């Protein structure tokens, strides 16, 4: 699964196609059967984690140098897309592993990379990302978590909110203020371990969707960590955080894409079996038009997402715009397509006996996290090609 950065923008390589087949088979056999129960019970999808780790698909982005698969950005997108097609909660395992660890990959010292990427690649640990706070959501630079130097250590105090897979992950990339006078340029990034004294977690949030992925607050109470756990130089944390999101918004686009594709696939099968007025409802033009629009928008989202993945791999100068565009467009498509899928199933679509209502609930968060779609439009406007 070595990286192939020269892949065609609009035609994934044979290796990518083979990867898709592998992930789809795995997802349908070992993740899909548990998706409804994971949602109903709001429990972590351990079966999915076990299946992904056993197939080395839980953190494919980790470079080969550190024991990873060395997958390129498109391969990572394909993994997330195919898992999300059957279970959005489970797709957050590879997605958030990338989100949490990418700051280390982008800006961390060689020692940090060796220490933390190896266990991640082996499946011995997961990685989460701590940026948002109770009073710092879209305005992330307004965070209050502090990191104060104390000899060869930093002492961290604060609260992080909306942290995906909190409590399950062993490692956390934490953004904290080291110089309050400099606002965004006074923020630094650190690796905090779950086992560090003073780290604790709030109760799991009771959410509309992605119920299988725990979302909790992370409390930092006089957490004392070695200074060499800082990611990059002091004051560069916010820049690293934003650079990370340029890449990982594409993984949220992939998740949205997978959710939408799963909903369309289920609706296509349903309308061929459901009969009214003596024939399958799929034979009616009104239904056909809905399916055509759904498929058309999904394909547009896929092309935009894959093109953005290619730009992520190359580090193109317009990545900020393209990543925001892919995330914004794909998530809007996912919300629209899943809503239409519920409509196509009629009353059945509104019940938990069928998966499309779960897909519709799961789709909503893709318009909100890693920057709301309103923020994405601001980002695009400020970075017009």
pTM of the entire predicted model: 0.96
Residue range 223-241, pLDDT digits in tens: 999 999 999 999 999 999 9
Q: Are 229 and 112 in contact (CB under 8 A)?
A: yes
Question: In the numeric block, which tokens belong to residue 221?
Answer: 């109470």
**Confidence tier at 165 by pLDDT (50, 70, 90):** very high
pLDDT of residue 250: 98
Q: How confident is the model at residue 212 (pLDDT cuts 50, 70, 90)?
A: very high
Q: Are 203 and 194 in contact (CB under 8 A)?
A: no
User: Residue 361: which of 259, 269, 265, 213 has the closest Cα?
Assistant: 259
Between CA 381 and CA 370 the distance in angstroms is 17
Q: According to the model, what pLDDT value does residue 12 have?
A: 84
pLDDT at res. 11:
73
Q: What is the pLDDT of residues 265-322, one digit of tens each?
A: 999 999 999 999 999 999 999 999 999 999 999 999 999 999 999 999 999 999 999 9
Residues classed as catalytic: 370
Give mean pLDDT, residues 175-201. 97
User: What is the pLDDT confidence band of residue 385, given thresholds at 50, 70 and 90?
Assistant: confident
CA distances from 314 to 14, 25, 263 (A): 20, 29, 32
The pLDDT tens digits for 17-39 are 999 999 999 999 999 999 999 99
CA–CA separation, 369 vs 380, rounded Å?
16
* CA atoms of 246 and 265, how far apart (whole Å): 30
Inform me whether the pLDDT recorded for 2 exceeds 60.
no
What's phi and psi for 177, nearest 5 deg?
-80, 125
- Measured distance CA(201)–CA(60) in Å, rounded: 27
The residue to which tokens 């990379």 are assigned: 113
Strand partners, 148: 155
pLDDT range class, residue 9, cuts 50, 70, 90: low
Average predicted confidence (pLDDT) for the chain: 96
């Amino acid at each position: 699964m070595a990286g192939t950065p020269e892949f065609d923008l609009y035609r994934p390589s044979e290796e990518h196609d083979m990867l898709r087949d592998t992930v789809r088979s795995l997802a349908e056999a070992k993740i899909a059967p548990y998706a409804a129960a994971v949602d109903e019970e709001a429990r972590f999808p351990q079966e999915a984690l076990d299946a992904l780790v056993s197939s080395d698909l839980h953190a494919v982005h980790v470079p080969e140098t550190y024991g990873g698969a060395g997958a390129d950005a498109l391969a990572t997108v394909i993994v997330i897309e195919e898992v999300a097609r059957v279970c959005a909660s489970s797709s957050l395992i590879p997605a958030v592993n990338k989100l949490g660890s990418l700051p280390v990959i982008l800006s961390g010292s060689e020692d940090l990379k060796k220490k933390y990427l190896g266990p991640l690649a082996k499946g011995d640990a997961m990685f989460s990302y701590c940026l948002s706070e109770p009073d710092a959501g879209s305005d992330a630079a307004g965070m209050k978590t502090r990191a104060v130097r104390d000899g060869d250590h930093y002492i961290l105090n604060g609260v992080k909110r909306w942290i995906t897979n909190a409590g399950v992950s062993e490692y956390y990339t934490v953004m904290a203020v080291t110089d309050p006078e400099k606002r965004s340029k006074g923020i630094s990034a650190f690796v905090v371990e779950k086992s560090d004294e003073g780290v604790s977690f709030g109760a799991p949030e009771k959410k509309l969707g992605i119920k299988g992925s725990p979302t909790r607050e992370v409390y930092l109470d006089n957490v004392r960590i070695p200074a060499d756990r800082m990611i990059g130089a002091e004051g560069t944390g916010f820049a690293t955080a934003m650079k990370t999101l340029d890449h990982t918004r594409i993984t949220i686009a992939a998740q949205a894409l997978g959710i939408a594709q799963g909903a369309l696939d289920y609706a296509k099968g349903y309308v061929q079996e459901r009969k009214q007025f003596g024939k399958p409802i799929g034979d009616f033009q009104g239904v056909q038009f809905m399916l055509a629009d759904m498929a058309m928008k999904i394909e547009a989202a896929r092309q935009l997402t894959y093109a953005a993945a290619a730009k992520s791999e190359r580090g193109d100068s317009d990545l900020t715009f393209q990543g925001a565009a892919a995330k914004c467009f794909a998530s809007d498509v996912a919300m629209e397509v899943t809503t239409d899928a519920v409509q196509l199933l009629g009353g059945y679509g509104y019940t938990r006996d069928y998966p499309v209502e779960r897909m519709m609930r799961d789709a909503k968060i893709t318009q909100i996290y890693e920057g709301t779609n309103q923020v994405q439009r601001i980002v695009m406007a400020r970075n017009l090609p």
